[in-house]
């Protein structure tokens, strides 16, 4: 399943970076964004995951996020998440960049995570930026949306379309994409910017770039190696292969 070149490059690699998207959580039962099951009711994520939609109809947007939060509370990390925890132990410098907001990498035990699109388990006030956990939210009878003690509307702490990504996480992600020896793009359709530019940055900087995805994407023709498969199956096999080859090389 893995080329000798990939195993050689990984055995010699000091810095390895993995970018994950919704496909990594699919095997945990979390719907992806753009697959056939990706639609929520008859809305597309882009129509609900934006500030204007929230201000126009906070009740509907909260209905969508509560639907997703309740689902995410019930699901667990899958073997793909746990394989990434193992990779963090294998490589000298390992970084996980995720577009996912489902907290499953944290739940699996990954430590060094850059969350580019926020985290659905966190909420904040649109006026004073005060943070709230889910169990602190009180949905008022009147408008079915939570309000801050300052009176402001509380929103999920995720990055919506048209909003800028957290500056530190974004800067670090581009920095490590440019210095890494190997870069994996896993379970992402690679259409959402600026995250989707990271694999291409890594290619330009000379990293060995591998895509693991259940179907080809817009970057498949540019990466050095494309592995079509489920991340929950491919990643554990990759970890086994790396451990086997590094034992051999010791």
By the criterion CB under 6 A, which residues form the site for ligand BV8?
21-23, 26-27, 32-35, 38, 46, 49, 99-101, 117, 158-164, 187-189, 191-193, 213-215, 217, 230-232
Rounded to an integer, what distance in angstroms lies between the CA atom of residue 115 and that of residue 96?
9
Q: Which stretch binds Zn ion (CB under 5 A): 13-21, 105-113, 128-136, 219-227?
A: 128-136
Chain-centroid distance, C-alpha 22: 6
Q: Which is nearer to ligand BV8, 26 or 148 (CB)?
A: 26
117 classed as catalytic: yes
97 binds Zn ion (CB under 5 A): no
| Minimum distance of Zn ion from residue 174's CB (angstroms) | 32
| Minimum distance of Zn ion from residue 188's CB (angstroms) | 34
Catalytic residue among 42, 117, 147, 224: 117
Q: Are 157 and 148 in contact (CB under 8 A)?
A: no
Chain-centroid distance, C-alpha 198: 13
Q: Which is nearer to ligand BV8, 186 or 207 (CB)?
A: 186
Binding partner of 100, given Zn ion, ligand BV8, none, CB within 5-8 angstroms per partner class: ligand BV8
| Minimum distance of ligand BV8 from residue 42's CB (angstroms) | 17
Q: Which is nearer to Zn ion, 5 or 150 (CB)?
A: 150
- Catalogue the long-range contacts made by 220-228 (C-beta closer than 8 Å, 24 or more residues apart): 223/185, 223/199, 225/3, 225/5, 225/6, 227/1, 227/2
Q: Which residues, other chains included, contact 242 with Cβ-Cβ below 8 Å and sequence gap of 6+?
A: 7, 10, 11, 87, 90
Binding partner of 161, given ligand BV8, Zn ion, none, CB within 5-8 angstroms per partner class: ligand BV8
Binding partner of 152, given ligand BV8, Zn ion, none, CB within 5-8 angstroms per partner class: Zn ion
Q: How do 131-133 and 118-125 pair as beta strands?
A: antiparallel
Count CB-CB contacts under 10 A for residue 57.
Answer: 13
Binding partner of 215, given ligand BV8, Zn ion, none, CB within 5-8 angstroms per partner class: ligand BV8
Q: Are 215 and 238 in contact (CB under 8 A)?
A: no
Q: Which residues, other chains included, contact 244 with Cβ-Cβ below 8 Å and sequence gap of 6+?
A: none
Active site residues: 117
Would you tell me which residues interact with Zn ion (CB under 5 A)?
125, 127-128, 130, 148, 150, 152
């Amino acid at each position: 399943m893995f080329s000798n070149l990939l195993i050689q490059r990984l055995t010699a690699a000091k810095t390895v970076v993995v970018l994950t998207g919704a496909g990594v959580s699919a095997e945990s039962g979390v719907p992806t964004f753009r697959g056939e099951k990706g639609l929520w009711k008859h809305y597309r994520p882009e129509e609900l995951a934006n500030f204007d939609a929230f201000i126009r109809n906070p009740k509907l947007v909260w209905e969508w996020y509560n639907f997703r939060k309740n689902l995410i509370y019930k699901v667990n990390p899958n073997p793909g998440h746990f394989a990434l925890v193992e990779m963090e132990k294998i490589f000298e410098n390992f970084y996980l960049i995720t577009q996912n907001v489902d907290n499953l990498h944290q739940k699996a035990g990954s430590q060094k995570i850059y969350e580019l699109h926020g985290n659905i388990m966190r909420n904040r006030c649109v006026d004073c930026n005060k943070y709230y956990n889910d169990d602190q939210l009180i949905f008022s009878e009147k408008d079915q949306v939570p309000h801050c003690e300052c009176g402001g509307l509380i929103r999920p702490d995720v990055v919506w379309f048209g909003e800028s990504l957290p500056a530190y996480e974004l800067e670090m992600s581009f920095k490590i994409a440019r210095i890494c020896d190997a870069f994996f793009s896993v379970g992402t359709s690679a259409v959402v910017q600026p995250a989707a530019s990271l694999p291409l940055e890594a290619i330009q900087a000379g990293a060995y770039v591998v895509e693991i995805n259940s179907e080809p994407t817009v970057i498949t023709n540019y990466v050095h190696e494309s592995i079509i498969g489920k991340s929950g199956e491919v990643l554990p096999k990759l970890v086994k292969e790396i451990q086997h080859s590094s034992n051999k090389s010791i």
